Amino acid sequence: MQHPNYDPLKSEVERCYGKRIVTYSDCLTLSKEITLRTGFRLNVNTLRRFFGLVQAVYPPSVTTLDILSRFSGFQSFENYRIFQTTQTDAADVGLSPLLHYADVLFNSAAATTYTDPTWTGIVRETILFMEKHPHLIDTFQRNIARTRIGQDIFFEQFVNLDQLNGNFGAGLRYYLAQKNNREGRLFTHALLCLRYYLTMDAQSLERHYHELLQDA
């Protein structure tokens, strides 16, 4: 029997982790990161099998896939699969240098400079640019969620209510994957409660409300 292709999820985990998983040491560190961010544990051998470092006789379990999906900012593997099927190819050769420049700009800033009011203007102009090129937003949000400026200004100070049920709402998973502390969880699940209240999605509203209560 042919197993499903898990390569997209592998790439998603590696993007959230920040590097490729190619050694035992990588799996060991990733295992610790998964526990830290999600509260769940995957042992090193499970990760080695998933990333192809050792031969796997059986496909990964649903639990393994759910935990890896949660690490990547999704509620479950099924939630990840739904997201994956809605994505289109975001490659744009002409605009990729600008996207790279934005990544370098946000990542090179010292942590002590994020309160500089200049950043407010930079983020505002960046948002306006991204609105004209929506196919770049997912990659951009994933990258800046790793930065202090991205978390504190782009996500927390520039809450895009118009896109709460769109690009901004989807990007909150990257924010939560990087800032998975009490403050980050309260911020994320409160916004998602608002999102699903406005869209009348009672099931999702209840799920995020219960997540919110865990840290209230």
pLDDT at 110 > cutoff 70: no
- Name the band, by pLDDT with cuts 50, 70 and 90, for residue 95: low
Rounded CA Rg of the chain: 18
- Name the band, by pLDDT with cuts 50, 70 and 90, for residue 74: confident
Across the chain, what does the average pLDDT equal? Answer: 83
Spatial distance between the Cα atoms of 58 and 3, rounded to a whole number of angstroms: 9
Please compute the mean of the pLDDT values over residues 83-104 and round it to a whole number.
60
pLDDT at 96: 63
What single-letter amino acid sits at 130? Answer: M
Which residue bears the tokens 């990547």?
Answer: 72
CB neighbour list of residue 208: distance below 8 Å, 6 or more residues apart: 189, 192, 193, 196
Please compute the mean of the pLDDT values over residues 63-73 and round it to a whole number.
90
Which residue bears the tokens 């937003």?
Answer: 137
Share of the chain above pLDDT 70, in %: 86
Bigger pLDDT: 77 or 4? 77
Least trusted range by pLDDT, from 5-9, 136-140, 201-205, 209-213: 136-140
pLDDT at 102 > cutoff 80: no
Asked if 40 and 70 count as a contact pair (C-beta separation under 8 A), the reply is: yes
Spatial distance between the Cα atoms of 50 and 42, rounded to a whole number of angstroms: 11
Please compute the mean of the pLDDT values over residues 125-142 and round it to a whole number.
83
Please compute the mean of the pLDDT values over residues 127-154 and round it to a whole number.
84
pLDDT at 113 > cutoff 80: no
Bigger pLDDT: 122 or 172? 172
pLDDT in tens, 148-205: 888 988 899 889 999 999 889 989 988 988 888 899 999 999 999 999 999 998 988 9
CA atoms within 13 A on the CB side of 40: 13
Least trusted range by pLDDT, from 35-49, 73-87, 173-187, 198-212: 73-87
pLDDT at 31 > cutoff 50: yes
Q: Give the chain as a DSSP string.
A: -PPP--HHHHHHHHHHHTS---SHHHHHHHHHHHHHHHS----HHHHHHHTTSS--SSPPPHHHHHHHHHHTT-SSHHHHHHHHHH------TTTHHHHHHHHHHHHHS-GGGTT-THHHHHHHHHHHHHHH-GGGHHHHHHHHTTSHHIIIIIITTS--GGGTTTHHHHHHHHHHHH--SHHHHHHHHHHHHHHHHHTT-HHHHHHHHHHHHHH-
